[in-house]
Amino acid sequence: MSTSVAATKSAPVINRPSPTSVGTIVWLGSEVMFFAGLFAMYFSLRANSPEIWAVDTEKLNIPFALTNTIILVLSSFTAQFGVFAAERMQPRATGLSPVKWGMVEWFFLSYLMGAIFVAGQAWEYATLISEGVALNSNSYGSAFYITTGFHALHVTGGLIAFLLVIGKTFAAKKFGHYEATSAIVVSYYWHFVDVVWIGLFLIIYVLK
C-alpha cells in the first residue's frame, strides 16, 4: 500500500491546455481563411480594374491611416502588458505609476486606443464618401469598404470583449485562473486583428 501511495505521489502532473484557449485558436484559424478570401477578392478586383485603382487610391490619406495604424499596433502592446499582469494575478493597480498597473488598467487603455482606431476609420469613410468613393461607386469602393469594414467589425468585437473581461474581473470575488485565462484569450484575438490590419494597411495604403 505504501509503495502505491509513493508511486502516486511521484507521478508527473499533466498540465492540459485550457479548452477555451484551444477553441479560440481553432476559431482564429477559420478567421484566417475568411480574411484570406477577402485579400483574394481585393487582388482580383484590382487586377481587373487597374485604372480605377490608380485614380481612387490617390484620394487616400496615408499619413492619417499610418497614425491610426500605429495607435492600433500600440494597443496590442498594452494588451500584452495586461496579460502579464493577469498572469501574476494582479487584476488592478497598486499605484498610479504604469509600472504598478494591473490587468484592468492596461485593458482599458487598449480599449480606448481601439475605440480611437474605429473612430478614425469612421472619419476616413466619411471623407472618402464626400470625395465620391462609396461602397457602390465602383469595384475599388466595394473592395475597400468590404475589407476594411469587416476588419472594423472584428475590432469592435474585440472592444466588447475587453469590456466583458473588465466587468467579470470586478464582479469576481477573487481573481483566479478563470479570469486570467479569459484575459489571455482576448489578447489572442486582439493580436490577430492587429496583424490582419497590418496586412490590410500594406496592401491598401502602401502597395495601393
Q: pLDDT by residue (tens digit) across 16-36?
A: 556 666 777 777 777 888 889
Q: Domains of the chain, with CATH numbers?
A: 19-207 (1.20.120.80)
Q: pLDDT by residue (tens digit) across 40-88?
A: 999 999 999 999 999 999 999 999 999 999 999 999 999 999 999 999 9
CB 120 within 8 A of CB 172: no
Q: pLDDT by residue (tens digit) across 127-185?
A: 999 999 999 999 999 999 999 999 999 999 999 999 999 999 998 888 888 888 999 99
Q: Which residue is listed with cell 497598486?
A: 94
From residue 76, give the alpha-carbon distance in Å to each of 45, 114, 200.
31, 9, 16
CA–CA gap between residue 208 and residue 202 (Å, rounded): 8
**Per-residue pLDDT at 6 exceeds 50:** no
CB 190 within 8 A of CB 158: yes
H or E segment to which residue 194 belongs: helix 177-201
